């Protein structure tokens, strides 16, 4: 009987140590969250050192000690899992916030570009309208015609626009193709297409310029895109 009691005390000591280990694990996780790791560790050590008192527990109650130890370990694992899950959730939230910020910045940049494009289009439309106020003359010098065009063509599109006109008519607003009947600065075919910009299209280069610029932008997107097509096909 004495030997049995000694074995029981040793077994209980093992359970007590296991319980202390579990408490230490729990304390480590909780301590990190609350900033009280040192205090929790001291408590766990106190439990581990108090094995003489636990050893006095009757053999019949040792199962309860074992259950408590396993429960404490399970709680420690659950707390650790919760902490890991919170960490993952925080990382995911930070990534989403960063992506949202990038998306908002792109949207703001696009809105600003759209505003600039609209403003430029309005300015060009206004300038094109001003061409209608150019006094009608019996003839126009090339420099005068080019000045009209520069008033409505964007600066970054000017070279492309000018290249097309050079190849089509060498800036002669009364140029006629004897074979096809194509007419004017842009060699419109049929020539009557110019009429959509004004009835004086035969004698007014400003009217032809308005039509030609609108044609390039509506058909190709811009004079430079029209020039790219012309270079590949020698017509546009």
CA-atom Rg of the chain in angstroms: 44
The span from the CA of 236 to the CA of 226, in Å, is: 6
Residue of 204, 132, 152, 207 lying closest to 174 (CA atoms): 204
Query: 218-223, long-range: CB within 8 Å, 24+ apart, which pairs?
Result: 222/157, 222/160, 223/153, 223/157, 223/158, 223/160, 223/161, 223/164
| Torsion angle defined by CA atoms of residues 162, 166, 171 and 174, in that order, rounded to the nearest 10 degrees | -130
- Region 132-233: CATH code: 1.10.530
Q: How big is the chain, counted in residues? A: 236
Answer whether 128's CB lies under 8 Å from 213's CB: yes
Coil vs helix vs strand at 204: coil
Q: What is the pLDDT along the chain (236 residues), one digit of tens a residue?
A: 444 444 444 444 444 444 444 444 444 434 444 444 445 445 445 444 444 445 556 666 667 777 777 888 888 888 888 888 888 888 888 888 888 888 888 888 888 887 777 666 656 555 555 564 556 777 899 999 999 999 999 999 999 999 999 999 999 999 999 999 999 999 999 999 999 999 999 999 999 999 999 999 999 999 999 999 999 999 99
Alpha-helical regions (H) of the chain: 2-34, 37-49, 51-55, 62-131, 142-150, 158-169, 205-220, 223-233
Q: What is the DSSP string of 2-61?
A: HHHHHHHHHHHHHHHHHHHHHHHHHHHHHHHHHT-HHHHHHHHHHHHH-HHHHHTS-GGG
How far apart, in whole angstroms, are the C-alpha atoms of residue 34 and residue 30? 6
The predicted structure's pLDDT at residue 180: 93
Domain ranges of the chain: 2-93, 132-233
């Amino acid at each position: 009987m004495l030997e049995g009691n000694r074995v029981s005390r040793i077994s209980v000591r093992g359970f007590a140590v296991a319980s202390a280990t579990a408490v230490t694990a729990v304390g480590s996780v909780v301590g990190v969250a609350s900033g009280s790791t040192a205090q929790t560790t001291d408590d766990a050590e106190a439990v581990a050192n108090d094995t003489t008192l636990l050893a006095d527990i009757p053999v019949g109650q040792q199962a309860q000690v074992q259950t408590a130890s396993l429960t404490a370990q399970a709680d420690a694992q659950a707390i650790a899992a919760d902490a890991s899950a919170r960490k993952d959730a925080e990382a995911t939230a930070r990534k989403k916030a960063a992506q949202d910020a990038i998306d908002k910045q792109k949207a703001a940049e696009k809105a600003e570009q759209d505003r600039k494009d609209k403003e430029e289009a309005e300015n060009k439309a206004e300038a094109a309208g001003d061409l209608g106020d150019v006094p009608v003359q019996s003839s126009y010098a090339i420099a005068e015609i080019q000045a009209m065009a520069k008033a409505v063509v964007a600066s970054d599109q000017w070279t492309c626009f000018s290249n097309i006109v050079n190849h089509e008519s060498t800036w002669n607003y009364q140029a006629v193709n004897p074979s096809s009947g194509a007419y004017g600065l842009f060699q419109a075919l049929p020539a009557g297409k110019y009429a959509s910009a004004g009835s004086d299209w035969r004698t007014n280069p400003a009217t032809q310029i308005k039509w030609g610029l609108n044609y390039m932008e509506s058909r190709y997107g811009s004079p430079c895109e029209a020039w790219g097509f012309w270079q590949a096909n020698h017509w546009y």
